[in-house]
């Protein structure tokens, strides 16, 4: 049986705009499982990013409970949040956010330095990760000297340096052209095949088809889900057809 690495109980998130209160996540009970490539889909404004931020400590929630890796983070203080973020989680976003004055190598290794690790071992790991992501010739370039796809692969290497238990990704291919996007999706698929748990928000059918479980969000609630487990590593085309049919039924 799969182990839940994220569990929400009666999760609610509202925003206040002036006197108006917008309920974005409504009383959500959800489990996300270890080893899964979980996809969060839904129409624009459905609350996908809001949910991702609430379950990943990136934003506070209004009510309810979130258990992350078996720990109730509801009452975590800033230090505890910083620790779980650094040790157990990684984030890959559309905006990439590499530090412009650091080389690709420095962007990756800098994130890994900690008093409990030798600098040498972190540097070696950064080199290995950059190599794994096909960037061995670019390690001493600056972000301004490489393409969007190379930057996004660097962001993935940076995300992996601390061996996160969960990767959270929000539209990681959103700013890339389709061939660069494919490269990034292939990397995420490979990582998931190696056991990495990933939770990804996407609008993109091709990206969604890489997951093994798709959650469809509507008005801040889970309005349906699709498992692709039965397809194994079947062809991408077959996966895309199954996902397309599911989304069509949801009037996506
Ligand atoms: N900081 C905020 N303050 C006020 N309203 C917000 C805030 N963040 C999000 N919202 C509102 O919450 C709703 C859900 O936003 P969210 O970004 O989660 O949607 P989404 O499903 O990810 O949409 P998209 O696919 O367009 O990115 C939207 O109506 C948005 O305007």
- Is residue 104 pLDDT above 90, yes or no? yes
Q: Closest ligand 1 atom, CA of 42? A: 21
- Residue 155's contacts (CB-CB under 8 Å, 6 or more residues apart) are 92, 93, 96, 97, 98, 172
Q: Which residues line ligand 1 (CB under 6 A)?
A: 15, 17, 22, 24, 42, 44-50, 203
Give me the domains of the chain, ranges plus CATH numbers.
34-53+86-249 (3.40.50.300)
Region 27-32 average pLDDT: 96
- Is residue 28 pLDDT above 90, yes or no? yes
Helices (H), the chain: 48-55, 78-88, 104-110, 119-132, 148-160, 178-193, 205-208, 236-249
- Is residue 64 pLDDT above 90, yes or no? yes
How many CB atoms neighbour CB 142 within 10 A?
16
Q: Name the pairing type of β-strands 71-72 and 63-68.
A: antiparallel
The three-state secondary structure class of 146 is coil
Q: Are the beta carbons of 62 and 47 closer than 8 angstroms?
A: no
pLDDT tens per residue, range 132-189: 888 999 999 999 999 888 898 899 899 889 889 999 999 988 877 888 888 889 989 9
**Cβ burial, residue 110 (10 Å; 0-12/13-18/19+):** middle
Residue nearest to atom 26 of ligand 1 (CA): 44
Q: Note the pLDDT of residue 152.
A: 86
Residue nearest to atom 8 of ligand 1 (CA): 50
- Is residue 234 pLDDT above 80, yes or no? no
pLDDT tens per residue, range 79-95: 999 999 888 999 988 76
Mean pLDDT of the chain: 92
Pocket test for ligand 1, best of 15, 201, 217, 223 (most atoms within 8 A of CB): 15
Q: Note the pLDDT of residue 132.
A: 85
Q: Note the pLDDT of residue 144.
A: 94
């Amino acid at each position: 049986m799969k182990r839940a690495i994220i569990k929400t109980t009666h999760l609610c998130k509202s925003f206040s705009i002036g006197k108006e209160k917008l309920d974005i996540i409504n009383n959500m009970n959800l489990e996300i499982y270890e080893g899964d490539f979980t996809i969060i889909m839904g129409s624009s404004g459905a609350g996908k990013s809001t949910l991702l931020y609430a379950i990943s400590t990136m934003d506070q929630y209004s009510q309810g409970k979130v258990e992350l890796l078996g720990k109730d983070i509801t009452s975590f203080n800033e230090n505890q949040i910083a620790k779980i973020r650094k040790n157990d989680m990684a984030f890959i976003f559309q905006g990439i956010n590499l530090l412009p004055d650091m080389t690709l190598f420095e962007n990756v290794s800098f994130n890994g330095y900690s008093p409990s690790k030798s600098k040498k071992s972190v540097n070696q790991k950064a080199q290995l990760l950059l190599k794994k992501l096909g960037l061995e010739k670019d390690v001493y370039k600056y972000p301004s000297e490489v393409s969007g796809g190379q930057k996004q692969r660097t962001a993935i290497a940076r995300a992996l340096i601390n061996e996160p238990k969960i990767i959270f990704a929000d539209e990681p291919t959103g700013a890339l052209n389709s061939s660069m996007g494919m490269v990034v999706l292939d990397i995420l698929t490979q990582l998931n095949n190696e056991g990495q748990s990933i939770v990804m928000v996407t609008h993109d059918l091709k990206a969604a088809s890489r997951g093994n479980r798709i959650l469809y969000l509507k008005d801040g609630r889970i309005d349906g889900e699709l498992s692709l487990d039965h397809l194994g590593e079947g062809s991408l085309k077959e996966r895309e057809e199954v996902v397309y049919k599911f989304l069509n039924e949801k009037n996506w």
